[in-house]
Chain A
C-alpha cells in the first residue's frame, strides 16, 4: 500500500508540468519536426451569427422562415461579454439593428481575422517550414503566415498581415494591419483599423484543434478580450474545398439598380 502510494507520487512527479489535468495531446510531426496542422478544418458553432450567446430569434427574411432564422448559441467569448468603450457600444447597437444591410458578409467581402476561422465553411491549412498558407472556402479568402523573421505590412488589407511562430505544441499567429471594414459576426460586432489579433492553434486530438484568439483594439474596446472554440477536421474521404466565389451572388444587390431597364 505504501509502495503503491510511493509509485503514485513518482508518477505524478514525472507528469508534464504544463498539464493541469489530462496530459497534453502530442500531434504527429511534420517532416521537419513541427506539429502537423495541415488538413481541412471547420468550426461547428454559431460564432458567425453572434460571438456572444443568444436565444433563437426570427431571421431578417420572413419568406425564408425557419431556413434562415437566427439559431441559439452559447457564445464563444470568455466572460460572454465584449467590453465596448461606452461611446462604441452605441455604434454596435446601431450595427446590430441594421445588420442585414451593413454586414460585409452579405456583400461577400473578405472576412478578416478571426471571422474567417469560424464562418460556416471549411478552410484548409497547407503547412510548410517557412510558410503556412490558409485557404478559406468562403470568397476564396486566403492568407499567408510568415514563419520566418517577422515582417511589416506596407498598407492595410482585408485579411491583415500574419507573422507566426511555434510555442511548443501551439501555432501562435500575430495579425496586424487589418482595415476597419470587416465585422466579427452577423450581430454588428466591429473594430477599427487599430485591431490587433493573436491566434493560437493547438492540436487537442487527432481530429480537433483548440482555437483561441485574443482581440485588442484600444479605439473600440476597454481591454483585450478572448474567444475560444474547437475546430473539427473534415474527415470525409477525398474531401476538398470547393469554390464559393460569392461576389457573383451579391451582384444583384450591389449592381442591380445600375442594370439597363429592359424596353420590352
Chain B
C-alpha cells in the first residue's frame, strides 16, 4: 500500500477531487526555524551559500530548460502524517522502487486505472501504454527531493474548505453530474486544450512532458511550459496588476527581484482555473537558483473564500538536456471530437435498447 501510494504523480484536477472529500480539520502550526533549515538542506542538498551566475544585466540567471517531473505527491499520504522528510536511506529506497516500477511497466505494460475523466469511475483497461511512448515519468529526468509531499508543514495537506466554498463546489458538482459529455464546455479545460493545471500558477508537475523553459530579457522573465505551449511573461518593473474586472485562465503576473529570488505575484484568475470554485485567488511564487542545476520553487496559495488558511508548497525544478518541443494541442484535438462522438453513440445505443 505504501509503495503504491508513494509512487505516483497526480494532476491538480485529481487533487481537487481529494479536496472535495477531505473534511478533517487541520491544526495550524507556524514553521520552526529548524524545519526551515531542514527544508533548505533537503532541497538544495547543502547549507552553503552560493552565488548564482548572472545575466548580462545583473539579474540571477534562471534561464534554461527545466523539469519539475517528480514522484512527490501534492499532498502527504495519510500513512506518512507528521513525517515531512524522508531520510537519505529512505529516499534511495524510493528511487529503487521507482526503477523497479518502471521496469515492470515497460515489461508488462501499464496497469488499468481510472481513465474516464469522471471522478470515482471504475478502473478500466482502455488506454495506450505510456512507457511505449516514453511518457512514463521514470523515462524522463526526475527532480528528486526528500519531501514526502509538495505541500510543506507538519500536515502536508490542503487546508479545509470554507463552508461557503463547500456549498459552492457541491452545487457545481450537482449541476455537472450526468452531463460530463454533453458538449465541449462540459469537458475539462485540458481536454479542450484551453488551460492545463500544470501551468497554474502554481507550476505543478504534469504526468508527462513536465518541462518548462525560462528566458530573461530586459525587464521581463518569460516562463514557457511545454503543455500547452503557454507562456507567462512576467514584468519586473514594479507595475500594478491589470484591472480587477479582467480575468484570465492563468491570471495576471507581476514580479520583482529580492536578492537572488524572483518573486511572482498573480491575481485576476477565472473561477475555473487553477482551482475550480476559487473566486479571489492570490498566488505568490518564489524562484531561487539553489545550484547550477536546480531552481528551488516555492509557492503560497491563498483565497479566504475558498480555504480556511493559505497553503504553501515547495519542489525542486531540475535542469534537463534537450529542449521544449511544440505541443500544438487544439490543432489535432481528435480526442475531444471522438469523446463527444463516442458519448452520442453510447446514448443512441442505450436509447435503442430501452426502446425495444
- Interface residues of A, Cβ cutoff 8 Å to B: 30-32, 36, 38, 108-110, 124-133, 135, 139-142, 144, 154, 157-159, 181, 238, 240-243, 245, 247-248, 250-251, 254-255, 258-260
Contacts and interface: CB of A to CB of B under 8 A. Distances in A.
A178 B254 CA distance: 34
Interface string B210-222: 0001011111101
A144 B233 contact: no
Given A139-B330, A248-B192, 9 more contacts: A131-B213, A140-B230, A142-B224, A158-B331, A181-B331, A250-B330, A258-B337, A260-B181, A260-B344
B320 interface: no
Contact of B341 (A127, A142, A258): A258
Contact of B194 (A126, A135, A141, A247): A247
B195 A255 contact: no
A31 B56 contact: yes
Chain B, interface SS category: loop
Contacts of B337: 254-255, 258
A135 B194 CA distance: 17
5 contacts: A124-B220, A129-B55, A131-B215, A238-B235, A259-B184
B108 to A, nearest CB: 29
A139 B330 CA distance: 10
Contacts of A254: 184, 337
A258 B231 contact: no
Interface stretch (B130-138, B242-250, B276-284): B242-250
A190 to B, nearest CB: 16
B45 interface: no
Interface in B187-231: 192-195, 213, 215-220, 222, 224, 228-231
Given A31-B55, A144-B324, A38 B184 contact: no
**In the A-B complex, the 5 residue pairs with the closest CB atoms:** A31-B56, A126-B217, A258-B340, A259-B183, A157-B326
Interface residues of B, number: 51
Contact of B249 (A32, A125, A158, A245): A245
B215 A128 contact: yes
Interface string B288-329: 000000000000000000000000000000000001111010
Contacts, number: 124
A142 B231 contact: yes
B233 A126 contact: yes
B285 to A, nearest CB: 18
Nearest to B330: A247
Contacts of B233: 124, 126, 135, 240-241
B301 to A, nearest CB: 20
A32 B217 CA distance: 11
B229 A140 contact: yes
B125 interface: no
A248 B194 contact: yes
A133 B217 CA distance: 9
Contacts of A248: 192, 194
Interface in B128-176: none
B329 to A, nearest CB: 8
B195 A245 contact: yes
A144 B223 CA distance: 12
Contacts of B185: 251
A243 B242 CA distance: 12
Nearest to A255: B184
A245 B55 CA distance: 32
Contact of A158 (B218, B328, B340, B344): B328
B44 interface: no
A135 B222 contact: yes
B56 A109 contact: no
Nearest to B228: A140
A206 to B, nearest CB: 14
Contacts of A142: 224, 229, 231
B185 to A, nearest CB: 7
A238 B249 CA distance: 20
B240 interface: yes
